[in-house]
Structure formats: structure tokens, C-alpha cells
Amino acid sequence: MIEVRDLHKSFGRVSAVRGVSFTANDGEITGVIGPNGAGKTTILRHIYTVLSPDSGTTLVDGFDARLERRQVQRRIGVLPDVRGLYPRLTAREHVRYFGALHGLYGEGLERRIEELMHTLVMEDFIDRRTRGFSRGQQMKVALARALVHEPHNVLLDEPTNGLDVATSRAVRELVRRFRAEGRCVLLSSHIMQEVAALADRIVIVAEGRIALQGTPEELRRATGLVDLEEIFMAATAGRAEQPALLAGDD
Amino acid sequence: MPTVAVVFLKEMVDNLRDRRSIAMAMIYPLIGPLILGMMISFVAGSLSAGAGRAGPMVIPAVGIENAPALAQYLSEHDAVLKPLGEEPAELVRRGGAPFVLVLPQKQASADGALEVRLVSDASRLSSVVPIAEMMDLLHGFEHEIATRRLQALGVPPEITSPLHIEEVNVGRAISLGATFLNMMPPFFIFTLFLGGVYLTLDTTSGERERGSFEPLMINPVSRSEVLFGKFGAGVVFTLIALSVQMLAFWTMLHLVPRASLGLMTPPGVFRLSLLLPICLPLALFAVASQIVIAAVTRSLKEAQTYLGLLPLVPAIAGMLLVFAPVNLHSVLAAIPTFGQTVLMGQVIRSESMSWAMIGISGLATLAVTMLLLAIAFRLYEREQILFPH
């Protein structure tokens, strides 16, 4: 379970996150959606421990991301927006490297890599160096290394960004499988259809604040609108075209 | 496996597949020995022009018939005058002879002075030795004539020769050999500061630029473990580069024609291996300073610019020491790179060394390295280090 409580973060004079609070439950898919530059990636970065808040807390399975960093890191698997692969390492070496950093080794690690290879359909390129990989292949490598230690909490930042239809569909199936396995899934996207197709709970972020949150049914009741895209537009009205608040954020 | 070892092994594998890292560690260190080897061979070839000469020294000359006494003296000293059929200056200018001896148009009187002109091209290195040999002969002839005339006036020989000078011929060659050997430490300094530079760049600036730092640091690892893993890989690459260069220098010193140059005895393998304890602290210092620069700069390009200039600063001290060696005392030894440059020179020239100086130099450099690593650790703790600008 992931809890974000009254999170504040500024970069210089730019307020990127202003009092964000929400909860992502186990066995649910929570979708964080917002226009480009709304602060979605910044919120996720606090949860996965690479940013420290100015104030507020983020908890993963009850552990504070700032004070108990290692405990949190052991419980999360993250697909960051920038996949960040090593072009001279093979896909298998990527997964093995991250597995070793999680303390996995030997046959157990190799077996886990084989499992992930089959799950993510990586057989054709697992032993190729990642230079020149397609976006879909890059995403699969990044996802495989994020899942190597079988994390209970899975954070996916724009998981289908730049992927073709078939691969996007495969990702969605995988995300549903995580939910079925009882994992807590936190998904960030700027595409409403994607979040609508997957999320049990939706958190709409705009200008670093939460504009609206709840189950799709709760959002419909609150706004009186049926279509989730209309709800998103209403919640972020006048904010969607704001410039990015943080470089590298989307 | 400890996290530091996991990071270290990953960086080793990754960079052993990088052509630039390999070139920096294994190809570039060969450049110094190659350059120095060519210089020694060229200079040796030029300066030893007369050493292997068979038969008497042939001296191209004009007006031989007007200086019979000189011709006689030269023939007694294994040299012969050869009449010249062309303009002396033209012959020397086109390199046909290192010099031409121009004798007077008419014979000098018995007690007069013989007018002798030596036409030469001082810009030709190959002329240096033949001219020096000719001047020695001329001075010898002058001294002999002067002595003979004074004796004819009743002056005893001891009065005319109060000083008997025995010239040690190898003197000039040894100092030249020492100068060449003194050029080795600056090359070692360059290698120490460049051997691991691409690895350090790739593992800090490159990691940030390609966006792989962020996913790496989401793992349950401390930043100091990551830092030390990368640092270790940088040091290993630096030491590989240093070893390659040491081996190349050793090979070069045993291949060049040192006998003709009169070069000092080149250091053996054991002597050269003394460079390792001297250089190890400097390798740590070099990699730590590279990491600090890579971490503090905003982009890979900016880091490349500074890291390209970094070896120049310590190498300047070494270059000055080529021509003006200093005696090492503890304060100088404590300056990183300076102390090592002097100590490396002592190893290479097979001079006696002080273990105390090696200790002072190593400990002082290690202390500065620790400081740099503390700075690197602080830089690694910053949020900005993870994200490309």
C-alpha cells in the first residue's frame, strides 16, 4: 500500500507539488493522471525515494520513503519514464544487474530471469545488447529489471508511452495481472483512455494539486458527467495548457 | 556479493566493451613510449654519426696547400683534408658536408697567425658532433704550435700547460640520456589522469545523461556503495593504463640504440615496479578528482572539456622538472603529483630513494583523495545528480 500525505515540493521558486494526499491500496490499480507538467512524475519520484519532500510524507507498506529508504526500495518495482538502459549490456545482463543489487544470485536469480523473459515475451532479444532496441523492447527490459525481485508495489510512469497498439495492450494485460496477484499498482499517465481502461481509483493532478480523486463512479457522481475524458477536462479546465513546472517532468 | 562489488563488476564489463575506454587505457599509453623512443633513436642516430666511422675523419677544405703544418698535424691525428671543388657555403647549406674548413689564400709566416674559417650550419643536429670534433682538433693544433713557439723562447713546458684536462667523453651523452629519462614522469602523469577518464565520464556524467542513474538509485543500495564501485573500476582502468605504459617504456628503453647515445642504464623490471607504490595513491587521487568534476558539471560535454584539461595541471610540474630537477624535501613531497613526479624521476634514473619521502608523498595524496571522495559523496547525495539537465 502506498500513502502520500500532504506532499509539498519546490524547485527554486517553482512549486511543483502543493499539498498532495492520496492512497493506493493493495489489489487495486490507482491511476494518477494530469496534463503535461502537472507534477505526476515528481510525486512518483518522492514515492520511489529519489526526491525528498519539503514537507509531508510518503509511505510504502508503512515505511517512510525519506527515513526508511532501503525498506521502501525493497518493496517497490519502478518503471521510470526515462527507461535509462546501458547500451553495451544485454537485456539479460540488465535484469541480472538489478537482481544482484537486490541481493539475488545464482540459480534463483537465473530462474527468475527466465520467468520474466517468458512473461514479457523477450526470448528474441534477451541476449542482445540494448543499443538500437525499439521502444517496446526498451520498456520490456526496464520492466523486467523492475520486477526481478517480485515487488509488492509496482509504480509505472507512462508505461505505454511510445508503444504500438499490440504492445500497449500486452502492458495493460500485465498490469491487470499484477492487480489479480494482490499487488498495489500505481500508474501515471497523461492519456485518460488508458487510465479509464485500467484504474480502480483515479487521482487527477493539475498544477501540483489534486483536482479530483475517487473511483470512476465517484468521479461521475461528483461532476455529473459520464465520460471520463469530459471529467478530466472539467477537473483540469484552464490548467491543461500550463507550461511544464519541472524540467523532465510530464 | 557486496553491492560495491556488483557495481564494480558491472562497470568493468560495461567499459571493457567500450572502445573509447579501451583506447584510453590500452592504446593511448603507448603514444608516450613511441614518441620518446623515436626521439632517442633520432638523436642517437644524429649524434653518433662519427662513432661508427671506419678510417680517418675526412675534412672538406679549401686552400690546403697554404697550411701544410695543419695538414701534417691532422694526418697525425687520424684526419685527412680533402680538397673541395665547389662553393663551401653551398655545400654545407645543401647538407653535403657538416662543415668546410676554409684556409688562408697564402701561407702564414713562421711566427704569424693562421686564419682559419669553419663554415657550418648550426641548425643541423647531425653537425654538432663533427663540428665539436673539428674544433677539438683545431684547438689541439693551436696549443701544440703555441707550446712549440714558447719552448723555442726558453719557456719550460709546465709553464705553458699549467692545467692538464682529461675530458670524460660520456659526460654530454649521459646528461642527454638523463633528460630523456626525465621526460617519462610527465607521460606517466598524463596516463594516470587519462587512463580511467572515459570510464569515470561514462559512469557518472554518462549515467546521468542517458537517464540510467535514476533507476539505479531506486534499488536498495546506498550512494556511497555505488560511488565506491565506480571509483574502484576507474582505479583499475587507470592502473591497467599505467601498466601498459610501463611495459611499453621498458620495451622501448631496451630497443633503442642506447650504446651509441651513451644513455644511462635503463631501469630494470624490478626498479620500474617501484613506480606502482608511488603511483597508486596518485591513481586514486586522479580518479577521485575525475568523479568530482564529472559530478559537478552539468553535462557530458562540459565534463569532457574539463577532464581533458585536468592532466595538464599536474603535468606542467613534471615538464619543468625535465630541465630543472629539484631536491625533494618533505613539503614538496606532500604536494600531490609533484612529489610523485620527483620520485618517479629518481626511480627511472636509478637514483637512491627515501622511503620516508615515498611515505609522505603517498599519505598526503591519500589525505587529499579522501577529501575529494567526501566531496564526491556529497555531490552523489544531491537530487540533481540523478536527472539529465
ipTM: 0.90
Tell me what pLDDT residue A165 has.
84
All 3 cell numbers of residue B287? 580518479
Tell me what pLDDT residue B127 has.
78
Query: For A172-212, how does the pLDDT look when each residue is reduced to its tens digit (9 = 90+)?
Result: 899 999 999 999 999 998 888 888 889 999 999 988 999 88
SS3 string, B113-182, reads CCCCEEEECCCCHHHHHHHHHHHHHHHHHHHHHHHHHHHHCCCCHHHHCCCCCCCCCHHHHHHHHHHHHH
CATH for the A2-235 domain, from 3.40.50.300, 3.30.1130.10, 3.40.720.10, 3.40.50.880 = 3.40.50.300
Of the residues B144, B167, B190, the one at which a domain ends: B167
Q: Are the beta carbons of A192 and A33 closer than 8 angstroms?
A: yes
Contacts of B325 (CB under 8 A, 6+ apart): B182, B342, B345
Our CA-based measurement puts residue A168 at a distance from the nearest CA of chain B, in whole angstroms, of: 22
Tell me what pLDDT residue B266 has.
72
List chain A domain ranges.
Answer: 2-235
Chain B hits for A83, CB-CB cut-off 8 Å, are: 211, 215
Of A84, A102, A145, which has the smallest distance from its Cβ to B220's Cβ? A102
Place of cell 561514462: B202
Cα(B379)–Cα(B371) distance, integer angstroms: 12
Our CA-based measurement puts residue B175 at a distance from the nearest CA of chain A, in whole angstroms, of: 50
Of the residues B145, B167, B189, the one at which a domain ends: B167
Counting one residue from chain A and one from chain B, the pairs whose CB atoms sit within 8 A come to 76
Regarding whether B332 and B249 lie in a shared domain, the answer is yes
Of the residues B112, B133, B167, the one at which a domain ends: B167
Cα(B126)–Cα(B312) distance, integer angstroms: 33
Cα(A140)–Cα(A94) distance, integer angstroms: 11
* B212/A84 touch (CB, cutoff 8 Å), yes or no: yes
Chain A hits for B10, CB-CB cut-off 8 Å, are: 89, 93, 97
> Counting every residue, how long is chain A?
250
Per the structure, the count of domains in chain B is 2
Terminal-residue alpha carbon distance, chain B? 33
Regarding whether B159 and B14 lie in a shared domain, the answer is no
Regarding whether B338 and B234 lie in a shared domain, the answer is yes
| Residue range A147-157: mean pLDDT, rounded | 95
Our CA-based measurement puts residue A69 at a distance from the nearest CA of chain B, in whole angstroms, of: 8
Regarding whether B245 and B372 lie in a shared domain, the answer is yes
Place of cell 490548467: A239
Of B250, B181, B186, B192, residue with least CA distance to B39: B181
Contacts of A126 (CB under 8 A, 6+ apart): A90, A91, A92, A113, A117
Regarding whether B88 and B29 lie in a shared domain, the answer is no
Cα(B119)–Cα(B237) distance, integer angstroms: 55
A148 contacts chain B (CB < 8 A): no
By the 10 Å C-beta count (0-12 exposed, 13-18 middle, 19+ buried), B21 is classed as buried
Chain A hits for B212, CB-CB cut-off 8 Å, are: 84-86
Our CA-based measurement puts residue A223 at a distance from the nearest CA of chain B, in whole angstroms, of: 37
Tell me what pLDDT residue B238 has.
95
Specify the 3-state DSSP secondary structure of A23: strand
Tell me what pLDDT residue A61 has.
95
By the 10 Å C-beta count (0-12 exposed, 13-18 middle, 19+ buried), A100 is classed as buried
Of B17, B210, B219, which has the smallest distance from its Cβ to A98's Cβ? B219
CATH at residue B61: 3.40.190
Could you tell me the mean pLDDT of each successive run of 10 residues in chain B, 389 residues long? 94 92 88 86 64 73 85 87 83 84 76 82 76 86 85 76 59 59 86 90 90 94 94 95 91 73 68 87 94 88 82 72 64 81 83 85 94 94 81
Task: Give the mean pLDDT of chain A.
Answer: 89
Chain A hits for B7, CB-CB cut-off 8 Å, are: 101
A121 contacts chain B (CB < 8 A): no
Place of cell 536498495: B220
Regarding whether B370 and B258 lie in a shared domain, the answer is yes
Chain B hits for A69, CB-CB cut-off 8 Å, are: 220
Query: For A18-75, how does the pLDDT look when each residue is reduced to its tens digit (9 = 90+)?
Result: 999 999 999 999 999 988 888 899 999 999 999 999 999 999 999 999 999 999 999 9
Regarding whether B179 and B134 lie in a shared domain, the answer is no
Of B14, B18, B218, which has the smallest distance from its Cβ to A48's Cβ? B218
Q: Are the beta carbons of A249 and A16 closer than 8 angstroms?
A: yes
Regarding whether B288 and B273 lie in a shared domain, the answer is yes
* A50/B218 touch (CB, cutoff 8 Å), yes or no: yes
pTM for the complete prediction? Answer: 0.79
Domain with B86 in it: 49-167
All 3 cell numbers of residue A117? 523473459
* B214/A86 touch (CB, cutoff 8 Å), yes or no: no
